[in-house]
Amino acid sequence: MGKRQGRERRLTGGVALPLLGVFLLAAGAAWAQGAPGGETEAYRSFPLIGSRLAVWGAAQLHLNFAAFILGVPMFAIIVEFIGWRTQDARYDWLARQFMKLTFVAYSATALLGGLLTFVFITLYPRFFGYLAGIFGPTMWVYAGLFFVETFTLYLYYYGWDWLSGPRKGIHLGLGVLLNIWGTILMFVANAWLTFMMSPSGVDEAGKLTSLWGAIYNPTWMPINVHRLIANITFGGAIAAAYAAFRFLGARTDEERAQYDWMGYVGNFVAVSSLLFLPFAGYWLGREIYAFNQTLGITMMGGFMSWLWVVQAILIGVLFIGSNYYLWLGMERIPGSERYRSYIPYLVMILAAGFIVWATPRSMVATLEEARAMGGTHHPVLGVLGVMSAKNTAVNLMILTTFVSFLLYRRANRVATVSWVRSGMTAQWIIMGVAAAVVTFYGVYGYFVESIVRIGFSVYQVLSVLAAIVCVMAIDIPMFRRARSTGAIRWGQIAPRSQYVLILLAVSFTWLMGLMGFARSGIRQHWHVYGILRDTSPEAVTPALGYAANMITAVTAIFLAFLVLIFWLGGLGERGAKG
């Protein structure tokens, strides 16, 4: 009886906080719609840190938690489905572990959303009033969907045992429904932010002519796809970091084995979705160029050009770290020794790709150095600073990461089918053709205009994705009845591998903040590009160093909250054991 009452109290308290966030959002939308725009004060200042930093910090923290509560349930339902299909109870346990982490994060997301709403209302009232005047109906839809999502989340989690066995399909359906509500919520919110970057559905004076036109603006769908993939990657990375946190604190071999396996699954989901992320990024970049070339030039070749060097370093950390984790993981697999000779070549490709990614177009140089080079572009390295080289490098890094996964997948298996030699030959030919296509369009991109070069990136990514699909279509049947060289020794992995998983989660969180700054910064002194000008005292796009410090501070706060959530998850288990 006591346990049941405790569960009911946790449920009531857990629902109350998200509902408070919904109330704050709905009240803010109603207030903004009711405010007379002509009489509203345009800007107010925030003490100590200023209005811009207050909005920036609240928005980025809310976005990070929103990605957490959207990405982790996506990860959980994938894992639960695998467990249902394979009848492996470990997957069901794993899915439940991660859904448990969403409760504190869910409440924090709602409260941060309410805080962000009131920060906008109090500090930028005229801007928020204009945005609510355009999207007011969708804000009420957003609040209603948040309530429905909350109810579905608790029914999904607390009905786990009740909807097991023959009713497992119903439970999976609830999980799918939960992710559908979360995805729709993301789509609605994305309409607001993409309208600020590529407004449509309004006339020259900014008056609404079509609500659907404002929602379906040029960058809305690319952002939707990009964030959907990114949230799956983020959910897997956070899940892997949680497993690493628990692995490092484990006291028995059984616990280490359990959390080692959990970290591998989380990292597998993260890396698998990361391979598809560049395509969505290229699509978004192409749509920005198509909407307004000034925005595209500002983003890639203007004052933000050095931002992409920082992004390159983070991308390099993600790819090299993911591969390094797979290579360390092969040490716990009997029979993996035969693939060790491949690793130095994979390292060289990744290192070369990283160097190209990190090479800037314009060099920071003194006047004498610039004169010696004949300009700000280095006569040799400048060739590697353009997007043709960088797109080529990242796609080859994706192929290399896929090869590392193939080696890991085959580490303790030997194919016994009669056509194994021809199958492997076909796989290498497919990957060779994909690499050739990527290289061809990379070189050809130097001889065409920028808008055409952006289109080439789509062909490069499609060739890589097609190669991955075709190679896996051969690999799965080829190793279906393979001979095993021994079972994986879960838990017998170097502790530094767990720090790699934590590093990947930190890098991805920081990268999300950096890309958010890039998306917002290209608007420069516009709240809504070309429609509503930012005339506040802080209407200046900050320098990259300033932005990096702010992103680091927000990332540190978010990670501190994550550590608290991880600790609470472990504390609950220790209390149950006691």
Q: Which residues constitute the domain of residue 67?
A: 11-333+488-577
Phi/psi of residue 160, each to 5°?
-60, -50
Per cent of the chain over pLDDT 90 is 34
Listed in sequence order, the DSSP H helices in 41-88 are 51-86
Cα-Cα-Cα-Cα torsion 238, 244, 246, 248, nearest 10 degrees, comes to: -150
Domain membership of residue 353 (yes or no) is: no
**DSSP code per residue over 317-371:** HHHHHHHHHHHHHGGGSTTGGGGGGGHHHHHHHHHHHHHHHT--SS----HHHHH
Residue 351 has pLDDT above 60, yes or no: yes
Q: pTM of whole model > 0.75?
A: yes
* Both tokens assigned to 498: 């767990």
Report how far residue 139's alpha carbon sits from residue 189's, in angstroms, rounded to the nearest whole number.
8
Question: What's the whole-number mean pLDDT along residues 336-341?
Answer: 88
Domain membership of residue 267 (yes or no) is: yes
Exposed (0-12), middle (13-18) or buried (19+): which is 526, by Cβ within 10 Å? middle
Q: What pLDDT, on a 0 to 100 scale, did the predictor assign at position 15?
A: 45
Report how far residue 451's alpha carbon sits from residue 322's, in angstroms, rounded to the nearest whole number.
32
**Closest by Cα among 179, 109, 72 to 561:** 109
The DSSP output letter for 5 is H
HSE at residue 342, side-chain half, CA atoms within 13 A, is 17
Residue 319 has pLDDT above 80, yes or no: yes
Which residues fall within 8 angstroms of residue 224, CB to CB, at 6 or more apart? 186, 187, 190
Report how far residue 461's alpha carbon sits from residue 229's, in angstroms, rounded to the nearest whole number.
15
Residue 37 has pLDDT above 60, yes or no: no
Least confident stretch, 4-13, 208-217, 373-382, 521-530: 4-13
Q: What pLDDT, on a 0 to 100 scale, did the predictor assign at position 32?
A: 46
Least confident stretch, 68-82, 153-167, 356-370, 421-435: 356-370
Phi/psi of residue 208, each to 5°?
-65, 130
pLDDT band at 361 (very low <50, low <70, confident <90, very high): low
Q: What type of residue sits at position 301?
A: G
Report how far residue 287's alpha carbon sits from residue 507's, in angstroms, rounded to the nearest whole number.
26
* Both tokens assigned to 129: 């009033």
Q: How far is CA 72 from the centre of its chain?
A: 11
The DSSP output letter for 293 is H
Residue 60 has pLDDT above 60, yes or no: yes
Would you say 269 and 78 are in contact if contact means Cβ atoms under 8 Å apart?
Answer: yes
* Both tokens assigned to 392: 């080529």
Q: What pLDDT, on a 0 to 100 scale, did the predictor assign at position 4?
A: 40
* Both tokens assigned to 51: 């209005």
* Both tokens assigned to 385: 């600073």
**Closest by Cα among 360, 442, 323, 431 to 393:** 442
* Both tokens assigned to 250: 């484990």
Residues linked to residue 208 through DSSP beta bridges, in sequence order: 202
Question: What's the whole-number mean pLDDT along residues 48-71?
Answer: 89
Domain membership of residue 480 (yes or no) is: no
Domain membership of residue 279 (yes or no) is: yes
Report how far residue 212's alpha carbon sits from residue 195's, in angstroms, rounded to the nearest whole number.
11
Residue 166 has pLDDT above 50, yes or no: yes
Report how far residue 539's alpha carbon sits from residue 535's, in angstroms, rounded to the nearest whole number.
6
Could you give the 3-state DSSP secondary structure of residue 132? helix
**Closest by Cα among 502, 504, 505, 486 to 330:** 486
The 3-state secondary structure of 471-492 reads HHHHHHHHCCCCEECCCCCCCC
Report how far residue 214's alpha carbon sits from residue 208's, in angstroms, rounded to the nearest whole number.
8
* Both tokens assigned to 80: 């639960």
What element of type H or E holds 532? strand 532-533
- Total domains present in the chain: 1
pLDDT band at 506 (very low <50, low <70, confident <90, very high): very high
Domain membership of residue 235 (yes or no) is: yes
Domain membership of residue 552 (yes or no) is: yes
Report how far residue 573's alpha carbon sits from residue 368's, in angstroms, rounded to the nearest whole number.
64
Question: What's the whole-number mean pLDDT along residues 146-161?
Answer: 89
Would you say 132 and 139 are in contact if contact means Cβ atoms under 8 Å apart?
Answer: yes
Residue 438 has pLDDT above 90, yes or no: yes
Domain membership of residue 76 (yes or no) is: yes
Q: What pLDDT, on a 0 to 100 scale, did the predictor assign at position 6?
A: 43
Residues linked to residue 532 through DSSP beta bridges, in sequence order: 528
Exposed (0-12), middle (13-18) or buried (19+): which is 530, by Cβ within 10 Å? middle
Q: How far is CA 295 from the centre of its chain?
A: 23
pLDDT band at 327 (very low <50, low <70, confident <90, very high): very high
Domain membership of residue 345 (yes or no) is: no
Q: What pLDDT, on a 0 to 100 scale, did the predictor assign at position 17?
A: 47
Q: pLDDT tens-digit profile of 526-570? A: 999 999 999 888 887 888 888 999 999 999 999 998 888 877 766
Selected residue with higher pLDDT from 379 and 416: 416
Would you say 267 and 236 are in contact if contact means Cβ atoms under 8 Å apart?
Answer: yes
C-beta atoms surrounding 535 within 10 Å: 11
* Both tokens assigned to 454: 């952006």
The chain-wide mean pLDDT, for the chain, equals 84
Would you say 304 and 521 are in contact if contact means Cβ atoms under 8 Å apart?
Answer: yes
**DSSP code per residue over 154-186:** HHHHHTTTTT-GGGHHHHHHHHHHHHHHHHHHH
Residue 454 has pLDDT above 90, yes or no: no
Report how far residue 261's alpha carbon sits from residue 270's, in angstroms, rounded to the nearest whole number.
14
Residue 13 has pLDDT above 70, yes or no: no
Q: What pLDDT, on a 0 to 100 scale, did the predictor assign at position 202?
A: 93
